Amino acid sequence: MRRFSLATLLREALRGHTGWAPQWRDATPKPAYDAIIVGAGGHGLATAYYLAAECGVRNVAVVEKGWLGGGNTARNTTIIRSNYLWEESEAIYEHSLKLWEDLSHALNYNTMYSPRGVMMLAHTVHDEQVLKRHIHANRLAGIDNEWLSPREAQEFCPILNTDPALRYPVLGAALQRRGGVARHDAVAWGYARAASALGVDIIQNCAVTGIRRGADGAVQGVETERGFIAAPQVGVVAAGHTSVLMAMAGVRMPLESFPLQALVSEPVKPVMPCVVMSNTIHAYISQSDKGELVIGAGTDVYTSYSQRGGLHIASDTLEAICELFPTVRRLRMLRSWGGIVDVTPDRSPIIGTTPVPGLFVNCGWGTGGFKATPGSGHVFAHTIAKGTPHPIAAPFALDRFRTGRLIDEAAAAAVAH
Amino acid sequence: MIGASRQEGMMQRLLVGRMFQGRLVPDSMRTEAGGRIDRARDLRFRFDGVDYLGCEGDTLASALLANGIHLVGRSFKYHRPRGILSAGAEEPNALVTLRRDGGRTTPNLRATQIELYEGLEATSQNRWPSLSTDFGALASLAAPLLPAGFFYKTMLGPRGWKLWHRLFEPLLRRGAGLGHAPTQPDPDRYARYHDHCDVLIVGAGPAGLAAALAAGREGQRVILCDEQAEPGGTLLTEIRALVDGIPAREFLARSLAELSAMPNVRVMPRTTAFGLYPHNHAGLAERVTDHLAAPGQDLPRERLWQIRAARVVLATGAIERPLLFPNNDRPGVMLAGAARDYLLRYGVKVGNHVVIATACDSAYLTALDLAAAGVEVKVVLDLRSSAEGPLPEAVRKAGIPILTGGRVLGTHLRRLRLDSVLLGRADGRTRWFDCDALLVSNGHTPTAHLAAHARAPMHWNDTWGAFLPGSIEGVASIGACAGATTLAEALAQGAALFAAVPPPVEAELPIAPAPGTLQGAETGCVFVDLQNDVTAQDIRMAVGEGFRSVEHVKRYTAGGLGTDQGKTGNMALFALTAAASGLAPAQVGTTTFRPPYTPVTFGTLAGPARGDLFDPVRTTPLHDKAVAEAAVFEDVGPWKRARYFPRKGETMHEAVAREVAATRATAGMFDASTLGKIEVMGPDAAEFLNRLYVNALTGLKPGSCRYAVMLSEAGFVMDDGIVARLAENHFHVTTTTGGAARVLHHMEDYRQTEWPDLRVWLTSTTEHWAVIALQGPKAREILIPLCEADISALPHMAVRDLTIAGAPARLMRVSFTGELGFEVNVPARHAPPLWDALRARLAAIGGTLYGTEAMHVMRAEKGYIIIGQETDGTVTPGDLGLPEGRAKPDFVGKRSLTRPDMLLPDRRQLVGLLTENPAVMLEEGAQLVTEASPPPGTPALGHVTSAYHSPALGRSIALALLAGGRTRLGQRLFVAGPRGGIAVTVAPPVFLDPEGARLHG
């Protein structure tokens, strides 16, 4: 892999930018691999990268129905934070946040990780109790999260309306300064490039049509549009379509898939310095480096695999945004879109082994998987390589829905991820 | 010839000079006659601080062009000077900020869509200090270092320095963005409408009009919308053809008159159908006042229309594509069709000496019409090898030279305006032509956005060099957006949808569609996406770097991601991607068309939901009573609830202590009307409830109440309340305030999907019943004289229907305070007088009103839980020390309670906590640990769920969920805090009257 740097950029500039090589190989499938990852989103590519970079498993294929990084990786609002409530969640999201902090250098790709602070607003006494409980839990875990008064919140985000007469006034906020955003596409591309350089085959436009199991029940490989590809270990990382893929191996997943929408405004000069989230009135907002206000809306009420949702969902979110930030009311929605999120009963992910030997699954990230991309890929790679769950992944086993050891972040706090 | 820019400069000086005398010279590039503007009505407007004159009917773009101004903006990345490219919604360059009074500042508006009004004030964007002198243009010098995606490859700095976040990102952010967001709240208001119709027709050009006429005459309910101020589309500039025997523009006027006379048809100009959502749900944005100089206060600025249409007809036309050639972005380079629009609609000559370069016949019409208006058309360069047919013939006949098979090789800029173009002939010779405008055409792209939103398939068409939308159920595309090439064809398609006969068309000069060409894009600075400064070289580089999917190329180069969403540039982006990948365009496909078609104001989407109308407050029938008693309110779910009733000078703490003490000493009165209430009736009502709640309810006797807990499927406590059995088949069930809707949905879900065989009916009665809680040792004394029945022997957990103070009441003897207590349910309208009656008796006896805070304290003293405080979706009834329904064969959640983790002894259980220092209050949410100063990463044993000062105990108390809590009674633990741990002792969760003597008194 040719290193990216100012020097290479200079050199190529002199050659009119004609000398750049492909950032990853557009591979054609080999007959067999040591491991196959189904799904070339951020989590799948990260898994392949860490398999090759840290676990010594380089004969890996990532098989993708469409184009790499084209699902929720390319559609989310890129919020990164680790101030979760339960210790299991704190562990994986903090593990991820630590990887984010060095990711650009590790991949030699600027993922534009921007720790500009994530501020979660409290509008009711109950909100305040919930956020303070998070702060207490996070302090014990050694994770930064602090309480801001309404005035401090307004200083941190000057266009925030903290008028006490608001329908839902800002009573305070929990701020994680290390939280922030990153450039979603760059994460997928950076992992793809680094994984490809380590020998991973990224096979795009190659839908998996079946998962082949032997007489002993163990996985033998995947059937694809481009033929059978053998591998003793298969990891399914397919977000909203995981349940469909797992059904091919006879595994019924506790997942529901919903369309989740997001939208951006036309670009304007910097006006929103941080990420602001309000769960009570459902508004998530930051400003991209390009200048667009990036706004997360909600999920439709009904399950669907169609990557679009109803207009009212975007309207509802903009109602809340315009109340919290009244100066943006004249800005205009430039684009809106939907992605399919896979939601588990306890709103926490499923990472680990399955009842099928050799078949692993990483899914159920719901509305908040982007922030976990590096950590999720990292622990999943170790899980696949060793055949047993990484300690951080262990609590997120599929089995927990049988044992009852749920990790319910959403119910605990009514907090979306 | 006089250089256009010099002319422009002279004129500006002239204007400024004339300004001192309070007069302006008229717009110099205006034709003597023609156009659809009102020449009698001069409008004064200001652009970048200079005053100009335009006419009623102008757009800002046409008015600027009438004044000889092409330079209106700077590009996003390199800050290159840019002019007006188009005459419509597709404009990538001419973005301005409009200022009105107050907070009415709007950035990023397209000058081509802004209707001129008296006093309009616009400023250019993304430049400093001025449009003509922009230091941002220095970025052009570094352009070789700033190709597509340059920032992915650099700007990191040494490891650990965080230079991206600290240095480069702030720099980049400052440079990015277009206009500035407003700094004041928007004072305008916005309206929201819902409607439905038989046929929604988008686009009032010839195809849409023909469809509307046909459907309207059939009696169908039709909505015809058009994004422009004046409906008509290409009919507005059709000066040759006769339709139905009359000139096309007369046909247009006649058709609009006929439509407006039809009661079943509504024509909506200035209304953009911006999105087509599932099941023919269309979003329309109507601009109501932006074109008015002095909008009336009675009008909303914009209206959002959400229309459900049985049939959607898309007649959205086609958008002209620019040519690709080096430096194709100069001010003065314009789409040929736009130049013709400016001439025929606005009476504006976009130049005096123009060169036309085209790969499509349509530009010949521009040549003919401009020449007829006195513009010198120096040459028509046709990039195709031959120029035959009626149009080129007519142009030749007009004496305009035609060069075929040539290329545009370059442009020259003088004073930020095109002043000459370099044309290459087929034989290799080149020549500079002086000109003040270069008008280009590279074919047209059918406007398939809405069809794509509805997931219509897109089919590649070689003749158009574009994708045409296929049909899907309920959505039809007609006219140019469906590949119609002539006026006659467009009219015929519109009429054919409703089996009508189209009007005949004569004397049309037909234009054949053209596939367009990539010739000219090979070398040099060739812009594909003008707004985002994406060049052909960027696209080749992206493909070379392995970005093969058009979605990848879009994302890597930002092509098509501007505010125009690539309306003029995307086809070239797809074609260049295909060419660089060695694929056919059909194989490459398109990027996803994402709504909205053109940007939609946030305010329009948010509609009237602001201030008091944003999630309107719910108040109880007794709200005014609480207001009169000077209550302080809190938000609970959608409700305002009285939190406490401070007397003069009292703090919350003091008021609450007084309310608690008085209630426990005599009596307290509380508005509990926000509790959710559900009437459950039917022969199977008891069985139904028995399956939904942990507690046994089939055996509940009529006239009795029971506290009941509802679980989720996962076995966790979801809600609680009172189930009161009024009769064999009739229950009154209460829920928590926040859970009212959730519980009803949960019940309906089970009733309809799991147990459809049960005969049971549910009705929400939350709004019907007001609830007044009377609690305290003297509660009965207060109530008895008002009751028209004897309640002296009414036991705890009994319910009776009776008349109280003349109101039909449902009286329950229940308590959430630990005191003898009642909840009086009366129909909402009876609540205020009953309140007054009770209030008077309460005052006489020395009782008090209390609010939610005192209620919380009293219930905590008794160890009663609050859903959402002691529970968080992870708590079982066993954890709370509540019955677990072991004796019941089944209920929702029971099976989950038997899972191994639910039976572990170290589950977090409800306990009480007493601080060693009784004055110290714990903080809710604080974590329990065994050490005073635990190291980071120490697992918590639990957390504080509630913490109050207890007036009854005269000290602080707290409830907590603690691992193995019931086995830890008496243990000393610590509550971790930022300033060290607070020592506590674990206690039972009931602090007051554990035997319940007061309750049953």
Percent of chain B topping pLDDT 90: 93
SS3 B524: coil
Buried-exposed string B147-184: b where 16+ CB fall within 10 A, e elsewhere: bbbbbbbbbbbeeeebebbeebbbeebebbbbbbbbee
How far is A27 from A63, CA to CA, in rounded Å? 10
Task: Please give the structure tokens belonging to residue A70.
Answer: 């084209």
What pLDDT, on the 0 to 100 scale, is given for residue B26? 67
* pLDDT tens track for B26-69: 678 999 999 999 999 999 999 999 999 999 999 999 999 999 99
Report the pLDDT value the prediction gives residue B16, as an integer from 0 to 100: 41
Going through B740-880 in order, the beta strands assigned E by DSSP cover 761-764, 769-775, 799-804, 807-812, 821-827, 848-849
Strand order in the sheet with B505-506: B246-247, B242-243, B505-506
Count the helix, strand and coil residues of chain A and give each as a percent rounded to the nearest 5: 35, 25, 45
Number of CB atoms found within 10 A of residue A14's CB: 9
Tokens in use for B371?
A: 């020449």
CATH of domain A118-177+256-343: 3.30.9.10
Q: Are B12 and B128 members of one domain?
A: yes
- CA–CA separation, B717 vs B736, rounded Å? 12
Reduced to 3 states (helix: H, G, I; strand: E, B; else coil), residue B635 is strand
Confidence of residue B182 (pLDDT cuts 50, 70, 90): very high
Q: Give the residue carrying structure tokens 């033998």.
A: A220
Helix (H, G, I), strand (E, B) or coil at B444: strand
Picking from A6, A12, A15, A17 by the largest number of B CB atoms within 10 A of its own CB, the best residue to mutate is: A17
Distance from C-alpha of B328 to C-alpha of B527, rounded to nearest angstrom: 6
Whole-angstrom distance, CA of residue A1 vs CA of residue A108: 10
In total, how many domains does chain B have?
A: 5
Task: Assess if residue B84 is contained within a domain.
Answer: yes
Q: Answer with the one of B615, B643, B670 that is the final residue of a domain.
A: B670
* In a shared domain, residues B648 and B682: no
State the average pLDDT for chain A. 95
Rounded to the nearest angstrom, the minimum Cα separation between A32 and chain B is 24
Q: Chain B contact for A126, CB < 8 A?
A: yes
- Which of B743, B765, B787 represents a domain boundary (last residue)? B765
A3 touching chain B per CB within 8 A: no
The 10s digit of each residue's pLDDT in B767-798 is: 999 999 999 999 999 999 999 999 999 999 99
B550-557 and B536-544 helices, crossing angle to 10°: 120
DSSP H helices in B399-465 = 449-453
pLDDT at B579: 97
The mean pLDDT of A363-391, rounded to a whole number, is 97
Give the count of Cβ contacts less than 8 A between chain A and B.
317
pLDDT in tens, A302-311: 899 888 889 9
pLDDT in tens, B935-963: 989 999 999 999 999 999 999 999 999 99
Any domain includes B986: yes
Integer Cα distance of B867 and B656 in angstroms: 21
The verdict on residue B748 lying in a domain is yes
Q: pLDDT band at residue A414, thresholds of 50, 70 and 90?
A: very low
* pLDDT tens digits along B367-402: 999 999 999 999 999 999 999 999 999 999 999 999
The 3-state secondary structure of B166-199 reads HHHHHHHHHHCCCECCCCCCCCCCEEEEEEEEEE
Question: Binning pLDDT at 50, 70 and 90, where does residue B24 land?
Answer: low
Distance CA B984, CA B318 (A): 75
**B550: distance to nearest CA of chain A, Å?**
10
Residues of A in contact with B186 (CB under 8 A): 326-327, 329-330
Q: Do B662 and B706 belong together in one domain? A: no
Query: Band of the pLDDT at B17, cuts 50, 70, 90?
Result: very low
Boundaries of every domain in chain A: 6-17+28-78+184-254+346-413, 118-177+256-343
Is the domain of B658 the same as that of B723?
no
What confidence category does residue B471 fall into, taking pLDDT thresholds of 50, 70 and 90?
confident
Domain of residue B651 covers 623-670
Banded pLDDT at B555 (limits 50, 70, 90): very high
Percent of chain B at pLDDT exceeding 70: 97
Instruction: Return the residue matching tokens 């405080």.
Output: B869
For the CA atoms of A59, A65, A66, A71, what is the dihedral angle to 10 degrees?
A: -90
- Rounded Cα gap, residues B553 and B541, in angstroms: 9
Contact A62/A201 with Cβ under 8 angstroms? yes
pLDDT in tens, B112-128: 999 999 999 999 999 99
Farthest-apart Cα atoms in chain A, separation? 68
Does pLDDT of B4 surpass 60?
A: no
Q: Which amino acid is at B76?
A: F
What is the pLDDT, as a whole number, of residue B2? 37
Q: Report pLDDT for A411.
A: 59
Among B153, B869, B927, the residue with its CB nearest the CB of A4 is: B153
For residues B9 and B72, membership in a common domain is answered with yes
Indicate whether B172 belongs to any domain: no
By Cβ distance, the residue of B151, B184, B899 closest to A402 is B899
Residues B131 and B13 placed together within one structural domain of the fold: yes
B494 alpha carbon, distance to own chain's centre = 33
**Does the pLDDT at position B6 exceed 70?**
no
Neighbours of B430 (CB within 10 A): 12
Looking at the complex, report in whole angstroms how far the Cα of residue A132 sits from the nearest Cα belonging to chain B: 6
Distance CA A94, CA B76 (A): 37
Structural domain contains residue B49:
yes
Are A124 and B716 within 8 A, CB to CB? no
Which residue of chain B is at minimal alpha-carbon distance from A142?
B936
Q: Do B710 and B740 have their domain in common?
A: yes
pTM above 0.90, yes or no: yes
- The topology under which CATH files domain A6-17+28-78+184-254+346-413 is FAD/NAD(P)-binding domain (3.50.50)
Q: What is the mean pLDDT of residues B560-568?
A: 96
Contact criterion met (CB < 8 Å) for B545 and A266: no
Domain A6-17+28-78+184-254+346-413 identical in fold to domain A118-177+256-343: no
Does B631 reside within a domain?
A: yes
Residue B556 lies in a domain: yes
Span B850-905, pLDDT tens digits: 999 999 999 999 999 999 999 998 999 999 999 999 999 999 999 999 999 999 99
Taking chain A, what is the end-to-end CA distance rounded to the nearest angstrom? 35
User: What pLDDT is attached to residue A302?
Assistant: 87
* Residue of B476, B594, B483, B455 whose CA lies nearest to B200: B476
From B643, B670, B697, give the residue that closes a domain: B670
Q: Is the pLDDT of residue A417 over 70?
A: no
Q: What mean pLDDT is reported for chain B? A: 95
Distance from the A320 Cα atom to the nearest Cα atom in chain B, whole angstroms: 8
| B600 to A286, A315, B126, B286, B304: CA distances (angstroms) | 19, 11, 21, 10, 9
Q: How far is A125 from chain B (nearest CA, A)?
A: 8
pLDDT reported for residue A416: 40
A369-382 residue pLDDT tens: 999 999 999 999 99
Q: What is the domain-level CATH number for residue B531?
A: 1.10.10
Q: Which residue does chain A place closest to B275, by CA atoms?
A: A311
pLDDT score, position A1: 85
Cα four-point dihedral sign B492, B494, B495, B498 = positive
Residues B557 and B577 in one domain: yes
Would residue B109 count as lying in a domain?
yes
pLDDT tens digits, residue range B679-732?
A: 999 999 999 999 999 999 999 999 999 999 999 999 999 999 999 999 999 999
Q: What pLDDT digit, counting tens, does each position of B349-366 carry? A: 999 999 999 999 999 999
Helix (H, G, I), strand (E, B) or coil at A171: coil
pLDDT value of position B1000 = 85
Quick one: which of B355, B559, B566 has its CA closest to B441? Answer: B355
Closest chain B residue by Cα to residue A318: B606
pLDDT tens, A184-231?
Answer: 999 999 999 999 999 999 999 999 999 999 999 999 999 999 999 999
CA neighbor of B929 nearest in space, from B943, B915, B918:
B943
Give chain A positions within 8 Å (CB) of B973: none
Q: What are phi and psi of A72, to 5 degrees?
A: -70, -25
Nearest to B684 by CA among B745, B750, B744, B761: B761
Q: Which residues of A touch B277 (CB under 8 A)?
A: 308, 310-311
How distant, in Å, are the alpha carbons of A365, B139, B820, B825 from that of B668?
Answer: 48, 73, 11, 16
* pLDDT for residue B623 is more than 90: yes
- Is A16 an interface residue toward B (CB < 8 Å)? yes
